[in-house]
Chain A
Amino acid sequence: MPATYHLSHLRTLEAEAVQVMREIAAEFERPVLLFSGGKDSIVLLRLAEKAFRPGPFPFPVMHVDTGHNFPEAIEFRDRRMQEIDERLIVAYVEDSIRSGRVVEDTGPRSSRNALQTVTLLDAIREHGFDAAFGGARRDEERARAKERVLSFRDQFGQWEPQRQRPEVWALYNARIRKGEHARVFPISNWTELDVWQYIAEEQLEVPSIYFAHDREVFERDGMLYANSPFIELMDGERPFSARVRYRTVGDMSCTGAVESSAATLEEVVAEIAATEVTERGQTRADDRVSEAAMEDRKRQGYF
């Protein structure tokens, strides 16, 4: 066969992700795409365009807003949504707190990250969504290495590793009972570098905090956090200015920055390719709580 029938690994991953999105859109009644303004969900949004244009998305887009997001991410989210002209639903953690559905921790180490779970599940129930696309990848963390592309949650939004269905070929069994829903991860097989390489190839815009910028930060447990109204300083913690960038866009209270001078997509790709620490280990305090931190959160319904 002529060598021209060759698809690069990135385009192969893209074609597979598009297949997943079309399959889910066809077999579920009310899917939703979760969008945080972070790089993984930026890729998801592009993949949805690849799958359904020139038609409209057969689902709305939803963001769970902790109220502690980076303003750059929110600004980007709104601009991007306007560009693609699709419907955005915002579910606010603030509303869950006000209605008493969740109680906010206090103190310097508190974070709203865990509260998102309740807000997300409430929103899924309220809108009757039966499938939610997310940007999780299996290379992020060891518990995720075993997660399916189609991950079933019971009526309490919980994940039972033992009850997951076998996933063979690209044949997804989309049958669920009323009240249950599925999380769908079209970019399961992508690595952090794949995501960046794809963003570069597709020339996708990302929030400015992914690039090196000067920021007021302080050091805690070997990580750099933004000095913000959402996080209380402890004794001995002193803010200083540093040239940093973010590898993930999460809640300001638990997402750490890395020192970096990478100011362009090319430089970010090169930096990721040379990095010595995994993405989550470097920048997410929420995973450091215990060795099995991610697994515990998934069981509760986290992404």
Chain B
Amino acid sequence: MKLPKSPDVTASNGNGQAAVATDGDSAQPHSAGQEVFRRLTERPADLLRFATAGSVDDGKSTLIGRLLYDSKQVLTDQLEHVEQASERMGHDFLDLSLLTDGLRAEREQGITIDVAYRYFATTQRRFIIADTPGHEQYTRNMVTGASTADLAIVLVDARKGVLAQSKRHAFISSLLAIPHVVVCVNKMDLVDYDEAVFDAIVEDFDQFAARLEMPDVTFIPISALLGDNVVERSQAMPWYEGPPLLYHLEHVHIASDRNLIDVRFPVQWVIRPPSSSVADYRAYAGQVAGGVMRPGDDVIVLPGGQRSTIAGIDTFDGAVEEAFPPMSVALRLADDIDVGRGSTIVRTQNQPTVSNRFEALLCWMSERPLDRRRRYQVKHTTRTAMVGGLDVRYRIDVETLHRDASATTLELNDLGRVHMELSAPLVFDSYRRNRTTGSLIVIDEATNETVAAGVILDTEVEEIDTDAKTERSPNVRWQGTRVTRERRWQALGQPGATLWFTGLPGAGKSTMAAAVEERLIAAGKSAFLLDGDNLRHGLNGDLGFDEAARRENVRRTAHVARLLADSGTIALVSLVSPYAADRELAATLHSSDELEFLEIFVDAPLELCEKRDPKGLYARARAGELSGLTGVGAPYERPADPDLVLGTLEESVERGVERVLELLASRGIVTD
């Protein structure tokens, strides 16, 4: 490659920006000012985000310091600070790594705590560096810093060769689908700038990288400490014919890294001014996540499945003819359909997957390991859903790429493949296809912590483990229907809802639920009783009574109830459902679909239930014939805030039914 004599950096002493020409007399501030302004505005620079990963000793901070210093981005007061600090630390050289260290704790402990962001620019480009540290939290930090990177710099110490750590960084870069990777072989000065050393490292790395998906890898021999091939071309390595690092950063082609094919528009916000200011204006605001949108395009709104046409694309500065990533715009649709935050607008002939089940690779970021008993949420684009099932398929050793299928949990900095099942469907693509619609975070509901970052896998392409723990349906497209819920309910003359009766065995749930069902039917309503025992004869006939089976029992029943409610029926569920978390999941399943869910606690003292013992369960449990009966050998978690409490000790069935009907009336489910 032909190179300019000196790298393409102008005398740039601006605050992280391109600068004025310093040659000649600058005694004409006006013309100079206009000239700089003209240059800045006439050719808008583009933005390159890159991530650096490396440990304390492989010279990463020095490399960044060198990039900033040699491209004249270091300002006088910053330099003064580095000079003073270098002196205090007893260095006889300018410690450029001090330019990038941030917090006091780091300065004291000599480590980098977290991702730090740096900014600089040349006449070619504007750069954002995500500088990630390499100590024990490396994986979490690198994922954080590199999630949006266009390019990753992986540092290799020339004396040590490709170590486990470099492999780790390469693997994470590949996992995050960073389109460009630069391997900087650093400290070449310490190996006498030997070409053979460089070649051996290139070969070694290539061998490892062949097992990963890495579209573009470039190798550059450098010395960050002395500045060889960082900004200036090295005189000491004439055998290297490629460009120095900065030149590469300035010219690497990133425009085609975006997905301009698949239209994806997750709705963040509905713009709806008061009718007094703008009549009947309604627009869906969001950031384009993929594809090019134009007015007149036929679109479908997922997961609902309503179809319409783009009537206009608005911005504060007026309507535009096209919108593409990463523009933030607002869409107007031709039809008055139900679109809100969490909907994704796509082209009708190019649709993503809509499913509540998928396979993902998770990077665990919390000190508290993955625990299936904890309650997690997933945030994906502008949707949030509860996690119902989370099965670890295997953990990946990031150094050997070995898969440990015996793993059942993930700990801090672990990477693992999981199967996830959520309370509501997501609208997604595989991460390789789209970094926005293919990424998610996992949040612990109790601590609010972000515990994991995940990328959704393309399960149609990638192999599905044959030894998977549970057989799962593949991703199934959510089938939109032309009949809306409103029309269905209108035809029935009532809205659907779910009444969830929970309580100890023998508390009187089934009696109550059956009596309510009878009253509703008699009043001409559509109601249906889902009795836990009855369901175990059919739908749930394969389930036992351990904790996992009970949860599955609740999950399936909740799904059936939701379908009934959606259809316009009042579903009456009578199920012990002893765990609060499972009931909550059932509730979320409904609320995320905007369906009414009423928790009715049938409260009776254990002694009374045991005395009633309609099925002889307590007697068998006491006799040791039955283990794990709720109330005897297994806990019952009382509802903290039920919609209604029925005390079957002190009130009659008739009185109980009245109170349930009052509740239904007060919620507008049953009128008259």
Contacts and interface: CB of A to CB of B under 8 A. Distances in A.
Interface of A: 1, 3, 5-16, 18-19, 22-23, 25-26, 49-56, 138-139, 142-143, 145-146, 161-162, 164-171, 173, 175-177, 188-189, 191-194, 197, 200-201, 261-262, 264, 266-267, 269-279, 281-282, 291-292, 295
B76 A269 contact: no
B439 A166 contact: no
Interface stretch (B12-20, B53-61, B511-519, B555-563): B12-20
Nearest to A266: B37
Interface string B439-467: 11101010011100100000000000000
25 contacts: A7-B46, A12-B46, A15-B327, A18-B287, A18-B328, A22-B269, A26-B269, A50-B316, A50-B317, A53-B271, A55-B272, A138-B119, A143-B102, A143-B103, A169-B148, A169-B436, A176-B448, A262-B29, A273-B14, A273-B17, A273-B20, A274-B19, A274-B20, A275-B75, A295-B103
B17 A165 contact: no
A167 B116 CA distance: 12
Q: Which 8 A-B pairs have the closest CB atoms?
A: A8-B44, A270-B33, A281-B77, A18-B328, A9-B47, A175-B448, A270-B36, A193-B17
Contact of B47 (A5, A12, A171): A12
B248 interface: no
Among A11, A166, A272, max chain B CB count under 10 A is at A166
Contacts of B501: none
B524 interface: no
Given A9-B47, A15-B326, A269 B103 contact: no
Nearest to B146: A168
A17 B181 CA distance: 27
B328 A146 contact: no
Contacts of B32: 270
A10 B125 CA distance: 11
B439 A169 contact: yes
Given A6-B255, A8-B44, A273 B436 contact: no
B15 A168 contact: no
Given A54-B278, A161-B113, A272-B14, A26 B268 contact: yes
A267 B33 contact: yes
A194 B379 CA distance: 31
Contact of B316 (A49, A56, A143, A264): A49
A273 B140 CA distance: 36
Nearest to B435: A169
Contacts of B326: 7, 12, 15-16
B363 to A, nearest CB: 9
A10 B448 contact: no
A13 B15 contact: no
Among B15, B16, B435, max chain A CB count under 10 A is at B15
B583 to A, nearest CB: 21
Contacts of A12: 46-47, 326
Nearest to B281: A54
Given A8-B44, A170-B436, A291-B81, 15 more contacts: A8-B46, A12-B47, A50-B315, A54-B271, A54-B278, A54-B281, A146-B103, A169-B439, A171-B439, A197-B41, A262-B33, A269-B33, A269-B36, A270-B20, A273-B18
B420 interface: no
A300 to B, nearest CB: 14
Given A55-B272, A191-B119, A26 B14 contact: no
Interface in B317-347: 317, 322, 324, 326-328, 341
Contacts of A8: 44-46
B422 interface: no
For chain B, which range describes its interface: under 10, 10 to 19, 20 to 34, or 35 or more residues? 35 or more
Given A146-B102, A191-B119, A266-B37, A56 B435 contact: no
Among B29, B277, B278, max chain A CB count under 10 A is at B29
Contacts of B125: 9
Contacts of B445: 175
Contact of B117 (A14, A50, A55, A145): A145
Given A52-B271, A189-B119, A277-B77, A19 B328 contact: yes
A50 B341 CA distance: 18
Contacts of B382: 23, 26
Contacts of B598: none
Given A5-B324, A10-B44, A169-B439, A164 B114 contact: yes
Contact of B114 (A13, A14, A139, A146): A146
A281 B15 CA distance: 12
A177 B341 CA distance: 23
B255 A3 contact: yes
A292 B280 CA distance: 53
A189 B148 CA distance: 13
A198 B41 CA distance: 10
A193 B292 contact: no
B345 to A, nearest CB: 15
A171 B29 contact: no
Contact of B143 (A11, A52, A168): A168
B315 A267 contact: no
Contacts of A5: 255, 258, 260, 292, 322, 324
A273 to B, nearest CB: 4
B78 interface: yes
Interface of B: 13-20, 29-30, 32-37, 40-41, 44-47, 75-78, 81, 101-105, 113-119, 121, 125-126, 128, 140-141, 143-144, 147-148, 255-256, 258, 260, 268-269, 271-274, 277-278, 281, 285-287, 292, 315-317, 322, 324, 326-328, 341, 365, 379-380, 382, 435-436, 439-441, 443, 445, 448-450, 453
Given A54-B277, A171-B439, A9 B77 contact: no
Contacts of B272: 55
A127 B128 CA distance: 36
A171 B101 CA distance: 26
Among A49, A188, A271, max chain B CB count under 10 A is at A271
B118 A145 contact: yes
A273 B260 CA distance: 34
Contacts, number: 234
Contacts of A264: 33
B291 to A, nearest CB: 10
Given A3-B255, A192-B15, A173 B448 contact: yes
Contact of B45 (A9, A18, A272): A9
B273 A56 contact: yes
B443 A173 contact: yes
Nearest to A260: B29
B140 to A, nearest CB: 6
B256 A162 contact: no
Contacts of B13: 274-276
Contacts of A55: 271-273
A129 B64 CA distance: 39
A191 B47 CA distance: 13
Contacts of B317: 50
B119 A272 contact: no
Contacts of A276: 13, 75-76
A19 B302 CA distance: 20
B582 to A, nearest CB: 21
A106 B16 CA distance: 38
Contacts of B117: 138, 145-146, 188-189
Contact of B268 (A19, A166, A168): A19
Contacts of B36: 269-270, 273-274
A267 B33 CA distance: 5
Contact of B450 (A3, A165, A200): A165
B33 A161 contact: no
A131 to B, nearest CB: 14
A161 B112 CA distance: 12
A278 B271 contact: no
B29 A267 contact: yes
